[in-house]
Structure 1
């Protein structure tokens, strides 16, 4: 919304605040919910946030594409982390090689920040990778220590290194997918 022509500056700032706070609410609902044995809390928060976000988003089509892409990336990355034995997710059940719904809810909420509050990273792949390398492990370590939503089974260092690599690739990959899909859409219209 901030880049939209004719959008009031105050409205743009409110949109960014909503975007950041909405994702934070999803993160806390997912992590605390999973840690407390309420694995439904995060997905419910993510659905409510996504519905509100998409209702008002000036880039709804793009946001939906990124959300779908992030769910696939999340399934692969977090499924791999679980299957490898590096991580155990709270409320994952018996199926370790599939990311639990609350983790996918986190990916959905995160995807909705990519073209809004984190839009500056879209043209800065090294900054996006750096955010992944630093922010990914920090988020998982916080989820482990604050709520017990994640457990590092083969040592925290090994798990955090794998997360850093995965997220360091995932964020630039999502921006690359977004750019590719947008280009294909423009070409289809032309």
Structure 2
């Protein structure tokens, strides 16, 4: 239970560092926070190999979902070196989110419809929060277009990520920091 809370709160801390830093034009807060968080999660994970696979898939999803949305011009990201590609702080968020899929967000594995609904409805809310509270994201008129694209992208990406987490959860577990038994 303790790992679940640390996992959840750590991911939220990465989100806050990322959007607050991006609003100031900085990449480093997201990259530093994500590196510390991901490292700590991998060190205590019962399935670090699975978490690394989820991280790789999440980065691919970041390039697909946020890359497509950015290239359409529907959403503009602060601190984005290239307008057509997801900025590093967005990739850091996706990577950090991947660490939640075997811990605090593992409940998404219980039903096939949950990841679709979470992706479609709740993921765009995080972007809207980053837009309204921090100006880290800007939606171009008509705003619903960018929100819809993000929702659809996440409605496809999240079930893929959750499916990988569910499939990998069947493998034997062993944390990296597990003590060796004599």
Both structures adopt the same fold (TM-score exceeding 0.5): yes
The structure showing larger relative contact order (alpha-carbon pairs under 8 Å, at least 6 residues apart) is: 2
Match among 71, 76, 88 for residue 76 of structure 2: 88
The equivalent residue for 2:112 is: 125
Q: Distance in 2 between matches of 1:17 and 1:103?
A: 23
**CA offsets 1:134-163 (integer angstroms, 9 cap, x no match):** 111100000001110001123221111111
How is 1:93-132 mapped onto 2 (pairs within 5 angstroms)?
Answer: 93=81, 95-132=82-119
Query: What value does the CA root-mean-square deviation take over the aligned residues?
Result: 1.8
Q: Does 2:15 align with 1:27?
A: yes
Match among 32, 44, 66 for residue 44 of structure 1: 32
On the 8 A contact 2:109/2:165 being kept in 1, the answer is no
Alignment gaps of 5+ in structure 1: 1-12, 185-190
Q: Distance in 1 between matches of 2:52 and 2:118?
A: 22
How is 1:128-147 mapped onto 2 (pairs within 5 angstroms)?
Answer: 128-147=115-134
Partner SS for 2:138? strand
Q: CA deviation at 1:181?
A: 6.4
**CA offsets 1:63-120 (integer angstroms, 9 cap, x no match):** 1110111001111110110001111100102x22211100000001100001111112
The equivalent residue for 1:15 is: 3
On the 8 A contact 2:19/2:136 being kept in 1, the answer is yes
TM-score by length of 1: 0.85
Q: CA deviation at 1:122?
A: 1.5
On the 8 A contact 2:102/2:165 being kept in 1, the answer is no
On the 8 A contact 1:36/1:147 being kept in 2, the answer is no
Q: Distance in 2 between matches of 1:116 and 1:145?
A: 29
Alignment gaps of 5+ in structure 2: 172-182
